[in-house]
Amino acid sequence: MASDPQRSRLPFEPGKKRKKSKPSPPPPTGESKPQPSGKRKDEPTSQAATGSSSSDARSNSKAIPEAVSRRMIARVALFSGTPTLLGVLTLVGSYFAVSQAWFPLPNVAVLLVSMGCFGLGVIGVSYGVLSASWDEDRKGTALGMEEFQTNFGRLREAWRSARSND
C-alpha cells in the first residue's frame, strides 16, 4: 500500500503519528488582579472567542462521513444479522423438532450449528465494516471483496506503522 502512488488518503484517515508534546503555558498578560465584575479583561466572553469551534471543525474533519457510516451499518446488519438470525432460528427449530418428536436431534449437533451461526455473525461485524467502500463518492460492489482487500491492506499498514513508531 505504501508503494501505491495512485491511492489518495481518505478525509477521515489519520496522518502519520506525531509525537505528543507538552502543552505550553499561556503567555503572561501582565495583569494579575481580577476585575471588580469577577471577570478578567483578557478572558474570552463567548465560545467563538475561545477557539473551540475550530477544534470542533478539526475533529469533524476526521469523522467518518455520513454516507460511509450508513453503508457500514447496512453491511454489518446484512453480514452479521443474517447468521445471527439463523442461529436463533436453529435453536427454535430444533426445539420444536425435538418437542414434537418429528425426528431426534443430538444436542451436540444443535450446539455446533447454532455456535457456528453465532460465530459467523461475529465475523460478519468485521467483514461488514471492512467490505464497505470508505470512499464517500463510490458505493462499492455487492459483496465488497475488492473493498475488503483495500481496507484490510490499509488496516495492516496502520498496524505496521503503529508498531514501528512504538
Q: Where in the chain are the domains?
A: 67-165
Task: Give the number of other Cβ atoms within 10 Å of residue 24's Cβ.
Answer: 6
The torsion angles phi and psi of 78, rounded to 5 degrees, stand at -70, -55
Question: Would you state the pLDDT for residue 137?
Answer: 86
Question: Would you state the pLDDT for residue 79?
Answer: 95
Query: CB under 8 Å to 134, separation ≥6 — which residues?
Result: 10, 12, 13, 68, 147, 150, 151, 154
Q: Cell 451436540 belongs to which residue?
A: 108
Question: Would you state the pLDDT for residue 87?
Answer: 95
pLDDT by 10-residue block (mean), the chain, 166 residues: 58 60 59 52 48 52 85 94 95 91 89 95 94 87 90 91 86
Q: The whole model's pTM is what?
A: 0.60
Question: Would you state the pLDDT for residue 108?
Answer: 93
Question: Would you state the pLDDT for residue 141?
Answer: 86
